[in-house]
Structure 1
Amino acid sequence: MTTVALLISPLLALTSPDALSPELTQDTIRRSGSQGSETASAANDAPNQLRTVVLDAGHGGKDPGCLGRKTRESRIVLKLVLQLGRKIKEEMPNVRVIYTRASDHFVELAERSAIANRNKADLFISLHCNASPSSSRVYGTETYTMGLHKTNGNLDVAKRENAVILKEDNYQQTYKGFNPNSPLAHIMLANYQHAFMGSSINFAEKVERSFRRNAERKSNGVKQAGFLVLWRTTMPSVLIETGFLTNPDEEDYLISSEGQEEISDAIYKAFAQYKQEIEAGG
């Protein structure tokens, strides 16, 4: 019981967004098309509007993420995020699109969620590529929301993504003693339930359904796990694993312009459906 109590205390201390860094990364891009127009102003005054989306390309800079034979995760997800952002801005000029990074540089996990919180985002989408240490045959997509690990596989994904904090300066202080190598710490983290769980799962289901219908991808479903980058956000948030770089065929697909177009388009269609639904009051 003493061990559990020691773990819970620092984790509970993380729940306040006020502890986050007040500065945006230098090349974070904030664009809104006709944000200053009367039309945009009228739209922003309407209830249930999805006004701002934050797009997060996982990893970057000194953190390459998963490694394939030909590429690294950080490069693929940056291309996907920028392509998704362009689609949203072209089709929905009144939606403000914010990138946590727009180049190949390192952004701390706490800063990624802080960017979303400071800009009062209505949705946070973090894109990643997956890896399977046990088999190069594993493939497909999966979308995570914040929640309890259902399987050891979910825990392994969360541990891998959260381990990036070891590359950060003063990570012990920033994350109040959170140990990314401790399964128990991740279980305590995953037990945190926030007010946006239902909306997060709703959007995650739309993403996986769109992957199946619009990109003919194998969907491994919607899953839950304890991700630091999602835990600190104060809006519906998902982490999308777009495919496995450890699978040679899927890596080739993720590298290809056709594959990147299909993936970004599938996510955009899920976003459009989600936006329409919440703005209709559903």
Structure 2
Amino acid sequence: MLLPLNKLIIYCLGVLFLIPAEDIFAQKNGFTVVIDPGHGGRDPGAIGSSSKEKDLVLSVGKKLGNLIKNNHQDVTVLYTRNTDRFVELDKRAEIANKAKADLYISLHCNALDRKKRSPQGVETFVLGLHRSKDNLDVAKAENSVILYEDDYSAKYQGFDPNEPESYIIFEFMTDQYLQQSIYFASLVQNKLVNNSKRVNRDVRQAGFLVLREVAMPSILVELGYISNVTDEQYMKSESGQESMANSVYLAFKEYKREYDKKSHVFTNPQQ
């Protein structure tokens, strides 16, 4: 049986890289996004004066998922959790990797020690080596979720989220999805700042275990500081959650449009 030119190209690439052709064809059918609301269950995440991180990010995540599902029939939306339950970090990555997802969005809230005056604002992270103490502190806080897991030291090859020395592993990493991740992170940050009118704390890099484990473009969004009264009230409100979900959705929509353009060129080389 003769294959069309575009499928022949994909088949040859599959042979070249020792990837079964049927697996590559499967990856070209539709688009899968994984939404990862951080924490959950016995892990509340950061705690504000009247709310918990785990609840806020779950609500925003489900609103985001509904926006994507209602407007993109060709997109499959998966959640690492859609209820208040604890999911281990490696399991979150496993969900995305097994689905061969095309994009991974992890949602969180930031916090600062109550003894200090809390800043406010949104920041979007990609995997990388932290360049400042602030970025390291954020990574430590989010990676500390593994302390709720059994045998975390063995599971994560001795990684200790509280030891700066553990983060040396990120210094020697090269992420093949970094440019795509930065592009999407920039879209998300821009929409949250300009559409939702959040204080801009920029796109940053830091060593997040959950981003290290996923094999796709990925970002981690700190939607605001739950330790800041203004941010917390905004993130608790229905209007605030809807606005943030819509902003991330608008960024996704733009990212997906560019993805489709590139996919069209690749699968239709003569057009």
TM-score (norm 1): 0.81
Instruction: Say if 2:185 is the partner of 1:226.
Output: no
Go from structure 1 to structure 2 and tell me whether the alpha carbon gap of 1:209 and 1:50 turns closer, same or farther (over 3 Å shift): farther
Letter in 2 for 1:266: S
SS at match of 2:203: strand
- Work out whether 1:60 is the aligned partner of 2:40: yes
1: CA distance, partners of 2:84 / 2:100:
25
Q: Which amino acid aligns with 1:54?
A: V
Runs of 4+ in 1 over 4 A off after TM superposition: 44-50
1:47–1:179 Cα change, 3 Å: closer
Which of these residues, 243, 253, 273, is aligned with residue 234 of structure 2? 253
- Residues 190 and 275 from structure 1, CA distance in 2 versus in 1: closer, same or farther, beyond 3 angstroms? farther
Q: Which among 81, 87, 96 is matched to residue 116 of structure 1?
A: 96
Unaligned 5+ segments in structure 1 are 1-43
* Match runs of 1:43-192 below 5 Å: 51-133=31-113, 135-192=116-173
Are positions 1:195 and 2:163 aligned together? no
Counting aligned pairs with the same residue, the percent is 44
Q: Secondary structure, in 3 states, of the residue corresponding to 2:131? A: coil
**Letter of the 1:242 counterpart:** L
Query: Unpaired runs of 5+ in structure 2?
Result: 1-23, 264-271
User: C-alpha displacement at 1:136, in angstroms?
Assistant: 3.7
For the pair shown, the structure with the greater C-alpha radius of gyration is 2
Rounded Cα–Cα distance in structure 1 between residues aligned with 2:193 and 2:30: 25
Alignment coverage as a number of residue pairs: 239
CA deviation map 1:102-138 (0-9, x unaligned): 1001000010011000000000000000012264441
Alpha-carbon shift at residue 181 of structure 1 (Å): 1.3
For residues 227-264 of structure 1, give each alpha carbon's deviation from its aligned partner in whole angstroms, at most 9, with x where no partner exists.
00000000000000000000011101000000001100
Secondary structure, aligned partner of 2:96: helix
Aligned in 2, Cα 1:99/1:271: closer, same or farther, shift over 3 Å? same
Which of 269, 275, 279 is the matching residue for 2:250? 269
The alpha carbon displacement at 1:269 in A equals 0.1
- Given that 1:159 and 1:186 are in contact with CA atoms closer than 8 Å, whether structure 2 keeps it comes out as no
Give the Cα separation in 2 of the matches to 1:168 and 1:119: 23
Tell me, what secondary structure is at the counterpart of 1:280?
A: helix
1:109–1:93 distance in 2 versus 1, CA, 3 Å: same
Q: How far apart, CA to CA, are the structure 1 residues paired with 2:29 and 2:117?
A: 42
In the superposition, relative to structure 1, how do residues 145 and 163 fare at CA in structure 2: closer, same or farther (>3 Å)? same
Secondary structure at 2:262 match in 1: coil
User: Cα RMSD over matched residues?
Assistant: 1.8
- What TM-score do you get using the length of structure 2 for normalisation? 0.84
In the alignment, is residue 204 of structure 1 matched against residue 168 of structure 2? Answer: no
Q: Is the 8 A contact 1:53 1:98 kept in 2?
A: yes
Give 1:213 shift: 1.8
Report the Cα distance in structure 2 between the residues aligned to 1:46 and 1:170, rounded to whole angstroms: 35
Q: Quote the Cα distance in structure 2 between the aligned partners of 1:162 and 1:91.
A: 33
Q: Check whether the contact 2:111–2:118 (CA below 8 A) recurs between aligned residues.
A: no
